[in-house]
Amino acid sequence: MKCVRCKAKGIIYLKRHNAAFCQDCFLYYYKNQVKKNIKRYKMFDKKDKILVVISGGKDSMALWHVLANEGYSVTGMYINLGIGQYSDKSQQVVESFAQKSGLELIVKDIKKEYGLDIYKLSKLLKRSTCSICGSIKRYLFNKVAYDGGFSVVATGHNLDDEAATLLGNVLSWEEGYLARQSPVLESTHQKLVKKVKPLYTLTERENLFYVLINKIEFLHDECPHATGARSILYKEVLNRLEEESPGTKQRFITSFLEKGRKHFQDVYEKIELKECISCGQVTTTEICSFCRFAQILKQNKEV
């Protein structure tokens, strides 16, 4: 197995590209993919102030590292979601990396700062912890970015995540979600910050290689609520398809973006946006879910 670029001994084989790379050429390939994605979707440039959402896992750590190393102006943002040891450990990993690398980091703690508890909310609202957690994260990414004058929010979603999400959305024809599934979501309101996914063509395995080669610390554990999630089943199904037909995931995503997504565009444009009467952030209802969560917990203190 020789490296396709320099013919040295290959250390990683990428089946979907039918190509092996040595360490240096893999890094070249990886950075090139990131640069191409940024350019293809006009995600940002060196003048932009980028808020990178960091969970402490391999994908977000790889994204933070690669963007900082390419000379972009990046600040990490970590949210402590109050998920027991998982949150404590991930916060430690993220803070230690920021300190050692001299990178700026904003830390938010939903319990300490906002009195929110995803478990109590899940019980009171009879909704899954992931759906509560997702709403809180989306709210805070945008709020912190908007208040801090950031022009773009970048997340570490990879090819496996994007393909699994697309499969889930297609299976139930979630038109609203399909309309929003894109490596770049331009702002549609002056208080909404643009969102981008520069790693959307790179797999989990490639991100893992990137962090291992660069000796970047990351949290190996998954969030305990990720197990059993529907997205894991979709990932397994897609992995099976990928084994039989390498390149399936990438084709699924790229053909959706090129040919499929435009059919849902009007759904996206029709979403009516308002400003929350309590906090002023953008929402589709009178009061945003974040403010509603805080109210519900206040009214149900004994839970």
Q: How many positions of this chain bind ligand Q46 (CB under 6 A)?
A: 8
Q: Residue 286 corresponds to which tokens in the numbers above?
A: 């009178």
Pairing of strands 274-275, 194-196: unpaired
Query: Least separation, in Å, of the C-beta of 188 and Zn ion?
Result: 18
Give which of Zn ion, ligand Q46, none residue 279 binds (C-beta under 5 to 8 Å, depending on kind).
Zn ion
Give which of ligand Q46, Zn ion, none residue 120 binds (C-beta under 5 to 8 Å, depending on kind).
none
Decide if 26 contacts 213 (C-beta within 8 A).
yes
Quick check: 129 binds ligand Q46 (CB under 6 A)? yes
Quick check: 134 binds ligand Q46 (CB under 6 A)? yes
Query: Least separation, in Å, of the C-beta of 152 and Zn ion?
Result: 22
Residue whose token pair is 């309101």: 189
Query: Least separation, in Å, of the C-beta of 76 and ligand Q46?
Result: 16
Q: Which stretch binds Zn ion (CB under 5 A): 26-34, 44-52, 154-162, 271-279?
A: 271-279
Distances (CA, A) of 96 to 68, 132, 166, 243, 250: 16, 28, 34, 37, 34
x-marked contacts with ligand Q46 along 274-293 as a string, rule CB under 6 A: --------------------
- The answer to whether the Cα torsion of 224, 229, 231, 234 is positive or negative is positive
Rg (C-alpha) for the chain, rounded Å, is 20
Of the candidates 121, 201, 288, 293, which one interacts with Zn ion according to CB under 5 A?
288
Quick check: 130 binds ligand Q46 (CB under 6 A)? yes
Q: Name which of 81 and 103 has its Cβ closer to ligand Q46.
A: 81
Give which of ligand Q46, Zn ion, none residue 23 binds (C-beta under 5 to 8 Å, depending on kind).
none
Q: How many positions of this chain bind Zn ion (CB under 5 A)?
A: 5
- The single-letter code of the amino acid at 98 is A
Quick check: 130 binds Zn ion (CB under 5 A)? no
Of the candidates 278, 294, 296, 297, which one interacts with Zn ion according to CB under 5 A?
278
Quick check: 226 binds ligand Q46 (CB under 6 A)? yes
Decide if 95 contacts 103 (C-beta within 8 A).
no
**CA neighbor of 160 nearest in space, from 59, 262, 34:** 59
Q: Which stretch binds ligand Q46 (CB under 6 A): 44-52, 105-113, 127-135, 239-247?
A: 127-135
Give which of Zn ion, ligand Q46, none residue 276 binds (C-beta under 5 to 8 Å, depending on kind).
Zn ion
Distances (CA, A) of 102 to 65, 90, 97, 253: 11, 18, 8, 35
Of the candidates 279, 294, 296, 297, which one interacts with Zn ion according to CB under 5 A?
279
Q: Name which of 14 and 223 has its Cβ closer to ligand Q46.
A: 223
d(CA 70, CA 66): 6
Quick check: 84 binds ligand Q46 (CB under 6 A)? no
**What is the footprint of ligand Q46 within residues 151-210 (CB under 6 A)?**
none
Q: Name which of 129 and 151 has its Cβ closer to ligand Q46.
A: 129
d(CA 122, CA 278): 22
Question: Interface with ligand Q46 by CB under 6 A: which residues?
Answer: 81, 129-130, 133-134, 223, 225-226
Question: Interface with Zn ion by CB under 5 A: which residues?
Answer: 276, 278-279, 288, 291
